[in-house]
Structure 1
Amino acid sequence: MKQALYFGVLSVLLAGCSQFKTSKQPTPVPTNLESHVQAQSNDVLADVPTQSSKIVGGDSRTMLLGKWYGIRKTNDGGRKEWLTERSADGTYRADFRSTAKNGDVRTQSEVGFWGISGGTYFRIFRGWVTLEGMKLADPTNADHYDAYEIQALTDDYFSYKHVARDRLYTVKKMPADFRLPVSVNSESKEPLTFSY
């Protein structure tokens, strides 16, 4: 029974990931990404919704479908960007791009499950996307399960606060064709750990 459930979950995740084709050639930086990053200042997205625009209910799940982009400055003068795509079947894919002050870039992609219960948004990290397929994460690692308090949600912006780390994140809804320039790493070393 457990083995059948495991293979069922794995097949759903792999099927969700199969729509994301990767190539070994670098992806050019889309102009919409550059202009969007250029428009950011002081780590704050413009027109961020206030607490008064908080929406929690059945529509919240539908509103979170699609692609959501976040960016924040790092302590060393670089930046971290992430693009999370949530699907109606409860799976997500997140692409991360970390740019150091000296211009070095590191990328990573992960997949898992997501959902909303009451005023809580949650995600369950299940693995990394690599050229060889999916590298499964350890399901017994408590750090792979995250809960966030929904601060605000509109058609364009989503603010949420990590319950354990007390860190606030704000992301912007992006068009379906928006992409981060992410190269899937085929190295055998342990992937980077990003928290968004």
Structure 2
Amino acid sequence: MKHLLGFTLISMLLMGCSQFKTAKVIAPVNLQKPVQLEEDQQEAEPSDVEKLATSVSRQMLLGKWYGIRKTADGGQKEWLTERSADGTYRVDFRFVAADGTARSQSEVGFWGVSGDIYFRIFRGWVTVEGMKPADPTVAEHYDAYKIEGLDDSYFNYVHKSRGQQYTVKKMPGDFRLPITVKNQETEPLTFSY
């Protein structure tokens, strides 16, 4: 009885498969004819930055880049981003308050370039205790920037959603920010090397 049931199932399966061979093939709609762009959808002339090949701009962004800006409280924020060829980055920050007190923190993650877009994926902090991973479900840990200008000395970019503009300067490989180690319970991001 088991053999008869198995034979029947196999026969039905083979008959079903043979019907598929003779069935009419349906082509996807998007492959039947080429798509025509409307007049206002025509591709614009690429900018000079867009003409710069992604591989070239990626190569230019390797190494250390320094930035500084004033903070709302009258202090300043400095940062040194080091991008590696393996697609990882590290940013060392130094915050100096208006009263002169300073603290440091370091962040790590992944980076890349696609056309005129520079992007970062924040993965965590470097702390005295070691790596503290970031929550990958937090949307603010993913940033995209439009590259406004890039050469051997300066990199100018704008955050896509916040509109903040940044300009950083290329630094020699041995350049480092001053280190401030200050342990605060509310701020575990306290170690930079």
Does the pair score TM above 0.5?
Answer: yes
SS in 2 for 1:60: helix
Distance 1:115 1:184, change over 3 A: farther
After TM superposition, the runs of 4+ consecutive aligned structure 1 residues lying more than 6 A away are none
1:143-195 C-alpha deviation (Å, 9 max, x unpaired): 00000000000000000000010000000000000000123555554546xxx
How many residues end up aligned between the 2 structures? 141
Structure 1 position 54, deviation (Å): 3.7
Name which of 139, 144, 158 aligns with 1:142.
139
Q: Which has the higher contact order (CA 8 A, sep 6+)?
A: 1
Distance 1:71 1:53, change over 3 A: farther
Percent identity of the aligned residues? 68
**Contact preservation (8 Å) 1:53, 1:153:** no
Matched with 1:182 is 179
Larger radius of gyration: 2
- For residues 98-109 of structure 1, the aligned pairs below 5 Å read 98-109=95-106
- The gaps in structure 2 that reach 5 residues or longer are 1-46
Matched with 1:47 is none
Whole-Å Cα distance in 2 between the matches of residues 134 and 141 of structure 1?
18
TM-score, normalised to structure 1's length? 0.67
Distance 1:101 1:189, change over 3 A: closer
TM-score, normalised to structure 2's length? 0.68
- The gaps in structure 1 that reach 5 residues or longer are 1-51
SS in 1 for 2:57: helix
**Contact preservation (8 Å) 2:103, 2:181:** no
1:75-104 C-alpha deviation (Å, 9 max, x unpaired): 222110000000000000000001111101
Name which of 47, 64, 67 aligns with 1:67.
64
Distance 1:101 1:190, change over 3 A: closer
Cα RMSD, aligned residues only:
1.8
Matched with 2:14 is none
Q: 2:125 is matched by which residue type in structure 1?
A: W
Matched with 1:171 is 168
